[in-house]
Chain A
């Protein structure tokens, strides 16, 4: 900035003092004419002492002669390499200490003389910050590693990349991941990375076959130490097992740290270098933290693997979703009734509660500890008001249990009201997961992030200067950047004003007028939005300044500083939005309505248009939530989707995000992109009309994959998205995904509970029916004995009664067998007694035993097919299946012929049972093999479990069962059993 000199300088003293930066001015003679308070404070003098001193006296002795020569040359030739260009030089403090400063010299003409203005900037903080930023690189190395982990799906895939990312960032020659051997407590090489040098490769080869126990020298000892260990002299370090190998190949330093989490140590990461690395306490701590993060990642993988297994199991059981509910890694509980009694509590919730009996007890009885944490009253509040309770990183006391003390943990979760048919709150569903590790590890890096942010801030302060009388504005490059201007772009008041966000313009104008009013004190301070003139980027700027008035009260100068506060503002509005969105998302289990509401919330704050493209549980596209600042455009967007539905596998942007699960940022939507997206001319016309200029597409991911895509689009407003917007959009998507997943999980859980209840009612009906018959027959006989009439009952009538009782007893026994089979299959205890078996013999036996029943129903059984289809199967189980299929055919296709066929095809034995009955509606064919499903109405007999049991038995044999049927044209059930491997 340029300040005109004056003979005394006195009237400019307040102006000079308005600057935080030290400023001083010299005359042609090189003596200081004036200085502000900041320069005095910086160098340890009073302002009055400085004035009159030669400028060079403020420099170390060794630089004075060079400076004096340069100054003289400049005064005669006006040539200088340093005028107007900041240079870094040491300045001399009164105490003799040298202070690193940035010095900017400006030449000023006026009042018949030439003067030089020097602006100093104290660089000590900045140098300290730069040093810290350098230190942050280690943390950035850690981020790089964590980024690898976030994408990886398995340790095998992740660890070599982690080694590479960290070793390269820190310039180590090689890295080794020593993993705990499965089941054992030894360490063995599991992944390596090297720079490729011969020595590195030989070192890795020499390490490859080694294993270490926990107490052995390093890496073994690192497991016991549970923190990072340095060695700077490998050749002579008794703690290091491969001293000779290291010495031979010239490796000198090593850093080893454990990969661990709260529960266990997974292994050790080792980095080796040829340099003699300095002991770096910061790095050692960072790497200990990294080890912890990798440990958590491995822990998470294991949890996910357990979940995948649970999914696979649940999938195998299809409707056995109760299992899924049980195995969910989150704690889930349903609490009902005004006294808040647990109705359901899954395994994770049980574990959290220390294995206490919860179901059937009230919250207050079962977990009195929760009272103090406020959980009990939060649940009560949800009951009372019907408002969901959302907890983020909520501290909870984990109750003590045998073998573990009580402990404070952090949880994320939601307590959701469950409404009854009248709308009243009848219960709550509690869904929560432990985030203690996350909270603790984040605290470790928060400190580092804060320092990084300060450093970045320091680099964004810009300065400006406005002469109200001439209208001339000067602004430094940093200030220009706040308005999206390059360093050389012309600057006028109008240009800058044109960049102010239209909504903020009036506010800024008012603030400017106020500060130009001499009665108001001249202070200026405001935050407003700008829209980049050259780059279109929206920024928040904080501008401070002061007006200088002359003795007539005329404003002569208006000047100050400006800072980019976009990220703080962004963080603030983002937090606000996230809080609102989270409330909306958890306010209802109707996730389509809540996604709609969320889209509306995002407009116009973050987008001119926001949409969510959703898929159903079968991955089909099921429509979108759309919000647009212009309702007509929202209708147009819906029309586009109706006419041009998404196509799975297409390379268009939305479909691509579904496919890859990666977010997509399009800073500028171009005409070629629109052409690429459009399927025909009409489509192109509509896309153009929608007028997207910049957009972000972010996947909503759950463990099952991408379930939806969130789209944020800027059009009318001309705003642009930048990479800094992606993490926020990702966070919104993550929360929305969790909400959708919770709602779907709840839907499925409710359905599973409903199916179970229906089953219990059918089972009780089915068991009571034969029991009633049996009891009545027994009672009549007992009454006959009591009244002395027994002897007069004709013997054929007695025989008939006994036959009937026998029949009831068999029915009961068959039902109980069926229930036992269900229990065995559900708990995975179905055992097969394999024996060598001829299927032809088997179906003949079944047909013989069923002939009586068939004849009674007017049906006939015929057997066709090959003989000699022999394998190793469970005879009684296959007998059970074929009997069940034939009995079904007799029951549902009465009076018609039934065929049993045995065939062999491509290594598979096939038994088919066909009938000529009414067949099975196509819609029902998919579900008849599910648990508790049957197509017949209740009262038709049976638990509806026969085909499910058959399917599970066939699957246990490695085979499959299916049905082909056209309504009205009979049904063909086929059982396929593998011949190979069963011999």
Chain B
């Protein structure tokens, strides 16, 4: 069974591109447009092996999502990698397992995903 990765980003093109890359690499990538959609997905469908999280999003931003995720005992253990375009400082104060800066290099992205969702 393919390993599930949740991609949370409000920008269609980035979300789609990341999902495409991961799907090509043999993962099952699912997109969410904001923190609210991501929470809904997690509560309905269960845990992926990694969440890739954008910070600046409408409806519910990355920091709020992360706080709610950590407050939910069923979801709090899922590792999160932050993807940010606003510089690394913006990710300060949001606890995460990895931080990826935009523009995103495919090798870096796959390296991080491989680390949390190893496939032989």
Contacts and interface: CB of A to CB of B under 8 A. Distances in A.
Interface stretch (A622-630, A767-775, A911-919): A767-775
Contacts of A770: 13
A775 B109 CA distance: 12
Nearest to B23: A780
Shortest 7 CB-CB distances between A and B: which pairs? Answer: A779-B106, A773-B13, A776-B17, A939-B56, A768-B85, A768-B102, A771-B103
A773 B106 contact: no
Given A765-B86, A777-B20, A939-B61, A771 B102 contact: yes
A801 interface: yes
A202 B61 CA distance: 85
Main secondary structure, interface of A, reads helix
Contact of B17 (A764, A777, A784, A789): A777
A480 B61 CA distance: 84
Interface in A754-795: 761, 764-765, 768-773, 775-777, 779-780, 783-784, 789
Nearest to A783: B106
Contact of B13 (A768, A804, A938): A804
Nearest to A780: B21
A264 interface: no
Contact of A938 (B17, B18, B56, B102): B56
A768 B24 contact: no
Interface of B: 10-11, 13-14, 16-18, 20-21, 24, 56-58, 61, 85-87, 102-107, 109
A783 B24 contact: yes
B102 A769 contact: yes
A940 B10 CA distance: 9
A939 B58 contact: yes
6 contacts: A764-B85, A770-B13, A773-B16, A777-B20, A939-B57, A939-B58
B60 to A, nearest CB: 11
B109 to A, nearest CB: 8
Contact of A769 (B11, B16, B18, B105): B11
Contacts of B14: 769, 772-773, 776
Contacts of B13: 769-770, 773, 804, 807-808
Given A779-B106, A783-B24, A939 B10 contact: yes
A940 B58 contact: yes
B58 A776 contact: no
Interface string A429-459: 0000000000000000000000000000000
Contacts of B11: 769, 773
B85 A772 contact: yes
Nearest to A937: B58
A772 B107 CA distance: 13
A527 to B, nearest CB: 66
A937 B64 CA distance: 15
A780 B19 CA distance: 11
A764 B11 CA distance: 15
Contacts of A937: 58
A274 B110 CA distance: 100
B10 A773 contact: no
B40 to A, nearest CB: 19
Interface of A: 761, 764-765, 768-773, 775-777, 779-780, 783-784, 789, 801, 804, 807-808, 937-940
B21 A779 contact: yes
Contacts of B20: 776-777, 780, 801
Nearest to A938: B56
A765 B87 CA distance: 9
B8 to A, nearest CB: 13
Contacts of B56: 765, 938-939
Contacts of B58: 937, 939-940
Nearest to B86: A765
Contacts of B17: 772-773, 776-777, 780, 804
A789 B13 CA distance: 23
Given A771-B103, A776-B17, A939-B57, 4 more contacts: A772-B17, A772-B103, A789-B24, A807-B13
A783 B110 CA distance: 12
A794 B85 CA distance: 32
Main secondary structure, interface of B, reads loop
Central interface residue in A771, A780, A784, by most chain B CB within 10 Å: A780
A775 B104 contact: yes
Nearest to B59: A939
Contact of A775 (B16, B61, B105): B105
Contacts of A764: 85-87
A767 to B, nearest CB: 8
Contacts of A789: 24
B87 A776 contact: no
Nearest to A777: B17
Given A775-B105, A938-B56, A940-B58, A761 B21 contact: no
Given A775-B104, A780-B21, A804 B16 contact: yes
Central interface residue in A761, A771, A776, A801, by most chain B CB within 10 Å: A776
Nearest to B24: A780
A574 to B, nearest CB: 53
A776 B24 contact: no
Given A780-B20, A804-B17, A939-B57, A772 B87 contact: no
Contact of A768 (B16, B61, B103, B109): B103
Contacts of B102: 768-769, 771-772
A918 to B, nearest CB: 14
Contacts of B10: 939
A761 B87 contact: yes
Contacts of A769: 11, 13-14, 85, 102
A764 B103 CA distance: 10
A37 to B, nearest CB: 88
A777 B13 CA distance: 9
B114 to A, nearest CB: 14
A964 B13 CA distance: 34
A775 B16 CA distance: 13
B105 A779 contact: yes
A773 B11 CA distance: 9
A769 B104 CA distance: 9
A937 B86 CA distance: 15
Contacts of B21: 776, 779-780
A784 B14 CA distance: 19
A776 B86 contact: no
A152 B107 CA distance: 72
B9 to A, nearest CB: 9
Nearest to B17: A776
B85 A765 contact: yes
Central interface residue in A769, A777, A939, by most chain B CB within 10 Å: A939
B110 to A, nearest CB: 9
Central interface residue in B10, B11, B17, B87, by most chain A CB within 10 Å: B17
Contacts of A773: 11, 13-14, 16-17
Contacts of A940: 58
A340 B108 CA distance: 39
A780 B13 CA distance: 14
Contacts of A771: 102-103
Contacts of B18: 776
Contacts of A775: 103-106
A776 B29 CA distance: 15
Contacts of A776: 14, 17-18, 20-21, 104, 106, 109
A776 B103 CA distance: 9
A513 B80 CA distance: 93
A384 to B, nearest CB: 29
A757 to B, nearest CB: 12
Contacts of B61: 939
A771 to B, nearest CB: 4
Contacts of B24: 780, 783-784, 789
B13 to A, nearest CB: 4
A938 B107 CA distance: 29
Contacts of B107: 779
A784 B18 CA distance: 15
Contacts of A783: 24, 106
